[in-house]
Amino acid sequence: MIPFSVLDLSPIPQGSTAAHSFRNTLDLARHCERWGYQRFWLAEHHSMPGIASAATAVVIGHVAAGTSTIRVGAGGIMLPNHAPLVIAEQFGTLESLFPGRIDLGLGRAPGSDQATARALRRTLASDPDEFPRDVLELMHYFRPVEPGQTVRAVPGNGLNVPIWILGSSLFGAQLAAQLGLPYAFASHFAPAQLMQAIDLYRGLFRPSEQLDRPYVMLGFNVFAADTDDEARFLATSMQQAFVNLRTGRAGPLPPPVKDYESQLGPLERGILDQTMSCSAIGSPETVRKSLEAFIAQTGADELMITSQIFDHRARLRSYEIAAQVHEQLTRQQ
The pLDDT tens digits of the residues spanning 8-41 come to 999 999 999 999 999 999 999 999 999 999 999 9
The pLDDT tens digits of the residues spanning 268-309 come to 999 999 899 999 999 999 999 999 999 999 999 999 999 999
In whole numbers, what is the pLDDT of the chain averaged over residues?
A: 94
The pLDDT tens digits of the residues spanning 168-224 come to 999 999 999 999 999 999 999 999 999 999 999 999 999 999 999 999 999 999 999
CATH match of 1-161 with 3.30.200.20: no
Residue type, 223: F
Q: Where are the domains of the chain?
A: 1-161, 224-333
271: left (phi over 0), alpha (psi -120 to 50) or beta: alpha
Which of 113 and 141 is assigned the larger pLDDT? 141
pTM of the model: 0.95
Give me the torsion for CA of 304, 309, 315, 319, rounded to 10°: -20
Instruction: Report whether 98 contacts 104 (CB < 8 A).
Output: no
Whether the predicted pLDDT of 104 surpasses 90 = yes
Rounded CA-CA distance 279/297 in Å is 13
> In this structure, what are the phi and psi dihedrals at residue 238, rounded to the nearest 5 degrees?
-70, -35
Q: Which of 162, 17, 180, 159 is nearest to 89 (CA)?
A: 159
Whether the predicted pLDDT of 128 surpasses 60 = no
Q: Which of 17, 37, 1 is nearest to 307 (CA)?
A: 37
What is the total residue count of the chain? 333
